[in-house]
């Protein structure tokens, strides 16, 4: 059964392995240079006080490879679901070859277990290897700003791609089993996978761990905008901030009064049309405003990665269990 699974899966495995090898070569060639460039420009920019320029210059390095990496990481789990998962059983049902396979001296439970097990593990291994390479190569980029905690970066680093691959694969197999035709099963796999993964990233991930709520005196160096037209009305004071919490994923930041109200009242008199910006900010600084920041600190990266991966692996296992039940009871 292992031989048959390998024989049927050979072409896909070879294709995936060659793509991974190509990417590995590209990374091996450019990776050390990137790390060196980071160490000599961005890491030491504080001494020369030109960090924004250094960061900008660094971020435009290898921009083609960077966009390719984004694309590959975004597409890889979906491709695994579409090209490895969906045809796994649908192709047999479509060609009627399950009637050949299930009448050899191997129970269909074993047939399914070996196929699901081997191809599923291959999916996870491929995604894990890819993510390992990408996480290493992108290391210098991920040390800037929110870095790897940024929602779109988070799902392309560490171990969550393994969870995505397992889920996409099991989803593809299930769709193929229920729809019994390869191409519609591929389409359904893509649609459901994209919906689940984006819904999870937008709605669920931030709440996997209770976020940190930081309340403190307003840090004037984080203020990026002052004016009128705040939440209390057209003539109320507006102060917005961009908190600088390195490596954190910040979901909201608010400025409140000392009492905790979001309506800051009228602007101080020195913020009139004829006053200077520095006089105005100094006056705001004397108002004893507070800031409320809700965020996930960067130190929780791995905890969040483990939680998310575990959830996707559990989903994949549930789908695999459903496939086993369905193949034993319902399919002929």
Q: Which residues bind other proteins (CB under 8 A)?
A: 1-4, 7-8, 95-97, 99-108, 110, 329, 332
Nearest distance from C-beta of residue 16 to other proteins, angstroms: 18
CA distances (Å), origin 210, targets 205, 206, 249, 279, 295? 11, 8, 13, 39, 9
Nearest distance from C-beta of residue 8 to other proteins, angstroms: 7
Between 49 and 329, name the residue whose CB sits nearer to other proteins: 329
Nearest distance from C-beta of residue 325 to other proteins, angstroms: 13
SS3 241: strand
What is the number of other CB atoms lying within 10 angstroms of the CB of residue 14?
10
Between 88 and 159, name the residue whose CB sits nearer to other proteins: 88
Nearest distance from C-beta of residue 98 to other proteins, angstroms: 8
User: Residue 90: enclosing H or E segment and its boundaries?
Assistant: helix 86-95
Between 61 and 94, name the residue whose CB sits nearer to other proteins: 94
User: Residue 223: enclosing H or E segment and its boundaries?
Assistant: strand 223-228
Between 113 and 282, name the residue whose CB sits nearer to other proteins: 113
Beta strands in 8-70 (DSSP E): none
Between 7 and 49, name the residue whose CB sits nearer to other proteins: 7
Nearest distance from C-beta of residue 180 to other proteins, angstroms: 14
What is the sign of the dihedral through the CA atoms of 21, 27, 32 and 35? negative
Between 111 and 295, name the residue whose CB sits nearer to other proteins: 111
**Token couple for 169:** 């694969």
Nearest distance from C-beta of residue 22 to other proteins, angstroms: 25
The per-residue DSSP string of 1-14 comes to -HHHHHHHHHHHHH
Between 101 and 129, name the residue whose CB sits nearer to other proteins: 101
CA distance 27 to 48: 30
Report residue 98: phi and psi, to 5°.
-65, -25
Nearest distance from C-beta of residue 95 to other proteins, angstroms: 6
Among the listed residues 169, 185, 168, 162, the one whose alpha carbon sits nearest the alpha carbon of residue 120: 169
Between 7 and 203, name the residue whose CB sits nearer to other proteins: 7
Nearest distance from C-beta of residue 92 to other proteins, angstroms: 9
The DSSP output letter for 204 is I
CA distance 56 to 69: 19
CA distance 1 to 172: 21
Under 8 Å between Cβ of 142 and 42: no
Nearest distance from C-beta of residue 114 to other proteins, angstroms: 11
Between 11 and 273, name the residue whose CB sits nearer to other proteins: 11
**How many CA within 13 A on the CB side of residue 7?**
4
Under 8 Å between Cβ of 100 and 209: no
């Amino acid at each position: 059964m292992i031989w048959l699974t390998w024989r049927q899966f050979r072409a896909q495995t070879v294709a995936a392995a060659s793509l991974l090898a190509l990417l590995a070569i590209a990374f091996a060639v450019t990776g050390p240079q990137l790390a060196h460039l980071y160490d000599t420009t961005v890491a030491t920019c504080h001494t020369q006080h030109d960090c924004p320029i250094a960061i900008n210059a660094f971020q435009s390095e290898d921009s083609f490879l960077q966009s390719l990496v984004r694309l590959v990481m975004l597409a890889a789990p979906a491709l695994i679901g579409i090209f490895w998962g969906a045809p796994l059983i649908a192709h047999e049902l479509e060609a009627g070859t399950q009637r050949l396979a299930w009448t050899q001296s191997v129970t269909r439970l074993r047939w399914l277990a070996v196929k699901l097990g081997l191809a599923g593990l291959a999916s996870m291994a491929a995604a894990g290897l890819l993510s390992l390479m990408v996480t290493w190569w992108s290391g210098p980029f991920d040390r800037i700003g929110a870095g790897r905690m940024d929602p779109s970066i988070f799902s392309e680093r560490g171990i969550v791609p393994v969870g995505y691959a397992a889920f996409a694969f099991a989803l593809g197999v299930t769709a193929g089993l229920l729809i019994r035709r390869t191409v519609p099963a591929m389409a359904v796999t893509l649609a459901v996978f994209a919906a689940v993964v984006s819904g999870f990233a937008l709605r669920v991930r931030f709440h996997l761990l209770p976020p940190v709520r930081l309340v403190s005196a307003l840090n004037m160096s984080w203020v990026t905008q002052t004016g009128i037209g705040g939440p209390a009305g057209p003539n109320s004071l507006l102060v917005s901030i961009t908190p600088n919490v390195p490596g954190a994923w910040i979901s909201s930041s608010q400025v409140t009064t000392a009492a905790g109200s979001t309506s800051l009242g009228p602007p101080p008199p020195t913020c009139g049309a004829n006053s200077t910006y520095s006089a105005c900010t100094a006056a705001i600084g004397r108002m004893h405003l507070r800031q409320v920041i809700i965020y996930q600190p960067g130190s929780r990266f791995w905890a969040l990665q483990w939680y998310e991966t575990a959830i996707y692996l559990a989903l994949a296992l549930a789908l695999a269990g459903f496939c086993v039940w369905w193949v034993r009871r319902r399919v002929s």
